[in-house]
Chain A
Amino acid sequence: MDKQLVISSSPHIRSTASTSRIMLDVIIALVPTTVMGVLLFGIRALAVIAACVVSAVLGEFLFNLIAKKPQTVGDLSAVVTGLLLALNLHADVPIWQCVIGSLFAIIVVKCLFGGIGCNFANPAITGRIFMTLCFTASVGGGASLAFGKPEVADLTTSATPLELLSKESDALPSLLDMFLGFKSGAIGEVCGAAILLGFLYLVIRRVIHFEVPLIFVGGVFVLSLAITGNPLVSLYHVLSGGLLLGAVFMATDYVTTPITRLGKMIFAFGCALITVLIRFYGTYPEGVSFSILIMNILSPYIEKWTLKRPLGGAEK
């Protein structure tokens, strides 16, 4: 036999899962949210999304080129980062700020730490926080709806429901409007229904475990209930701000959450707790981003505590 046979280590078959397929699934899961965002906030939202995605992908591409690293944009994770950042922003954020935020997320938070898998904090979240701190005036506020029920648009000119909630204003949109997205807020945060669709898709495709979003969102509900004693207000808390988007798409990020299933659950609960604490007692009306960032930092420790006992492993 003169043909060279391939010699390699077992196993000789691999599952069909791949990094780029996982990222593609996340992008697919974000489609309803993205579409709703554009429908609700108009062409301006599309511009923000395009700016973030393009600068994230280009940023990673150029970084790899300059740093002479293997090209990684093909794994689509930069697209996810850019998209998630955009969905976390209001539609009227200046485009140049979007570009800077997106480049910060990709280059500083991800590439400089060694690229995919090596960053300790979620790039999109960190990018958003960076922008909140740098451009407080434009990023902190809320954009008005491009169209929608007039009475809702009236009610929500600039204050987001969370701000209204924290001011105990009675000018709140109805719960149904909150769920469907007829309220002001970030592009991808407002439509709970679309996020829910994405959540179901990710669970069915086994990209994420259902527990993490459930514990995060459920935790916020229960804790709000414990503090306010009012189920209606708690429901508003669930549907407000970036909670749903964060719980489904950012608290489930692989890289920056514990590797174990139990660890992921603890992570989710920690996020819920910190979110509620910030929302009720902090100076910022919104706590989702900070809670996820803080838990990102704690993640390695949670992971260490929750490692499985090896089968038959002797005690150390």
Chain B
Amino acid sequence: MSLFKLGKVHVPHRKNTAEAIPVRMPAPAQVSISMLHHIGAPATPVVKPGDKVYVGTLVGEAAGYVSSPVHSSVSGTVKKIEKTLVSAGKEIDSVVIESDGEMTPDPDLRVPEITDFASFSAAVRASGLVGLGGAGFPTSVKLDAIGKGIIKRLVLNGAECEPYITSDTRTMVEKSDLLREGVELLCRFCDFEEVVFGIEKNKPEAIAKLKDVFADMPKVRICPMPSTYPQGGEKILIYNTTGLVVPEGKLPADVGVIVMNVTSLAFLASYVKTGMPLVEKVITVDGSAIASPANVIAPIGTSLGEVIEFVGGTSCEIGKILLGGPMMGVAVWTDAHPVLKTTNAITVLSERDAAPPKSTACIHCGRCVSACPMGLQPTYFARALNISDKREMCERLEDEKIGLCIECGCCSFVCPAKRPLVENNRLAKAAVREYKTSTAAAGKKGGDK
């Protein structure tokens, strides 16, 4: 399908939990539900201390278009609303709920009535669904492209290319019927030319299952992909499954594609049947410090420490806790950090694995260049970042297409000199952003180049 082979790396798979059926953890004593799970505006709390809530009760209202409502994941009483520091470094409201241990569903939950695209879109919005594969873009916003009639293809992301994580694998194996319902649901509103599942070949069970479930839908193509990293990156997935290239600064919708994570789709299908919003997540708990890796169903807002305890704790001193996998996961500073909507894995690394490697001079070996899936020259960015003249630096970085970097981590992973390439790229992007805003503010041109 695809003309050129993109850069890639072979990361260890370590899918220890591929066969592990998710276990539901008991109601935690308390949850802390963040108002921000995604890019965009945080939700506004609509409850106050003392309020009685149930599983699925709205606790935070979407504030704006690119925003998503938040629901209680336990039944109990709102204890307080507090400001907490989130991984992005901002202070965000969190609703702290004391659980009564009953997990009573909200009696007012209704199955959404879906008659046309508008009511469907409203339902997706009300479900609180955000992209469960990573960045957590509100799904309703993404699906609105369907309403514009520009979408020809639906690409379902079941690549799950990060080491350790198997929550999407479990979705595909256990919830294939929901995936079928989900595809049929979306097909009601959009006449897709093609629906493609991109799945890495290291999940033969999932591939076989979906081939079976979709055998009678000619529109649906199950596309097994080499088990290399980062097959699950949106632009990479689109290219490898359809051969289409999303141009710089454009969205998949601009080339007629919508990408959805398989777990997101399965959730959507279950939501339209039950009306239960997004309140819990299947989470792979693994990593070098975890004694017995497992898949857990945890209420959103549970502290990471409790989830780790539930699977049997750690086998050695904890060095690092990551939300997500080791390639793109975000390190958190405390195990009190809550589970978010986008949390598909908790990776706990031992002290030894957490120690940052010693970085030495670039030896110009080209490994980062051949590894980069976006065809960039990671080692150049670091060089450009050293230019003292701000203007020259930013022009160089833009010329070298820093904006295309998806922060997948391939370059840092392969670098024998252990250069902090991804970190550099983030700094470089920030520098370019800052330069652009400052020049725009100064009224000079050079803002959009």
B312 in the interface, Cβ–Cβ < 8 Å? no
A309 in the interface, Cβ–Cβ < 8 Å? yes
Chain A 281-313 near chain B by CB (<8 Å), digits 1 or 0 = 000000000000000000000000001111111
Q: Which residue of A lies closest to B410 (CB)?
A: A11
B422 in the interface, Cβ–Cβ < 8 Å? yes
Shortest CB–CB separation between residue B192 and chain A, in angstroms?
A: 22
B354 in the interface, Cβ–Cβ < 8 Å? yes
Chain A 194-216 near chain B by CB (<8 Å), digits 1 or 0 = 00000000000000000000000
A176 in the interface, Cβ–Cβ < 8 Å? no
- Given A8-B320, A12-B326, are A18 and B416 also a contact pair (CB < 8 Å)? yes
Shortest CB–CB separation between residue A113 and chain B, in angstroms?
A: 11
Q: Are A19 and B379 touching (Cβ within 8 A)?
A: no
Shortest CB–CB separation between residue A209 and chain B, in angstroms?
A: 9
Chain B hits for A254, CB < 8 A:
363-366
B125 in the interface, Cβ–Cβ < 8 Å? no
| A19 partner, pick from B349, B374, B416, B426, beta carbons under 8 A | B416
CA distance A4 to B385 in the complex (A): 30
CA distance A118 to B360 in the complex (A): 12
Chain B 95-113 near chain A by CB (<8 Å), digits 1 or 0 = 0000000000000000000
B residues 397-425 with Cβ under 8 Å of A? 399, 401, 404, 407, 409, 412-418, 420, 422-423
| A314 partner, pick from B248, B331, B363, B365, beta carbons under 8 A | B248
A260 in the interface, Cβ–Cβ < 8 Å? yes
| A115 partner, pick from B361, B401, B407, beta carbons under 8 A | B361
Q: Are B369 and A6 touching (Cβ within 8 A)?
A: no
A169 in the interface, Cβ–Cβ < 8 Å? no
Q: Are B336 and A13 touching (Cβ within 8 A)?
A: no
B9 in the interface, Cβ–Cβ < 8 Å? yes
Q: Are B369 and A75 touching (Cβ within 8 A)?
A: no
Q: Give the segment of B141-149, B239-247, B293-301 that binds chain A.
A: B239-247
Q: Are A13 and B353 touching (Cβ within 8 A)?
A: yes
Q: Are B349 and A311 touching (Cβ within 8 A)?
A: no
Interface residues on A, range: 35 or more
B317 in the interface, Cβ–Cβ < 8 Å? yes
Q: Are A260 and B248 touching (Cβ within 8 A)?
A: no
Q: Are A11 and B409 touching (Cβ within 8 A)?
A: yes
B12 in the interface, Cβ–Cβ < 8 Å? yes
A117 in the interface, Cβ–Cβ < 8 Å? yes
- Given A5-B334, A12-B327, A17-B367, are A310 and B401 also a contact pair (CB < 8 Å)? yes
B residues 329-383 with Cβ under 8 Å of A? 329-336, 347, 349, 353-357, 360-367, 369-370, 373-377, 379
Chain B hits for A117, CB < 8 A:
361-364, 417
- Given A6-B354, A259-B369, A312-B248, are A12 and B320 also a contact pair (CB < 8 Å)? yes
| A260 partner, pick from B321, B369, B414, B417, beta carbons under 8 A | B369
CA distance A313 to B423 in the complex (A): 22
CA distance A311 to B366 in the complex (A): 18
B11 in the interface, Cβ–Cβ < 8 Å? yes
Q: Are B355 and A6 touching (Cβ within 8 A)?
A: yes
Q: Are A312 and B322 touching (Cβ within 8 A)?
A: no
CA distance A1 to B319 in the complex (A): 12
Residue with the greatest number of chain A CB neighbours at <10 A, chosen from B245, B319, B360: B360
B residues 234-258 with Cβ under 8 Å of A? 235-236, 239, 245-250
Q: Are A312 and B420 touching (Cβ within 8 A)?
A: no
Nearest 5 A-B pairs (CB), nearest first? A11-B409, A9-B423, A17-B416, A308-B375, A259-B366
- What is the interface of chain A, defined by CB distance below 8 A to chain B? 1, 3, 5-15, 17-19, 21-22, 72, 75, 77, 114-118, 254-255, 259-261, 264, 307-314, 316
User: Can you name 30 A-B pairs with beta carbons within 8 Å?
Assistant: A5-B320, A5-B332, A5-B333, A7-B331, A8-B354, A9-B423, A10-B412, A11-B327, A12-B326, A13-B326, A13-B327, A15-B9, A15-B414, A17-B367, A17-B416, A18-B416, A19-B360, A22-B365, A22-B416, A77-B363, A117-B361, A117-B362, A117-B364, A310-B404, A311-B239, A312-B235, A312-B246, A312-B374, A312-B404, A313-B375
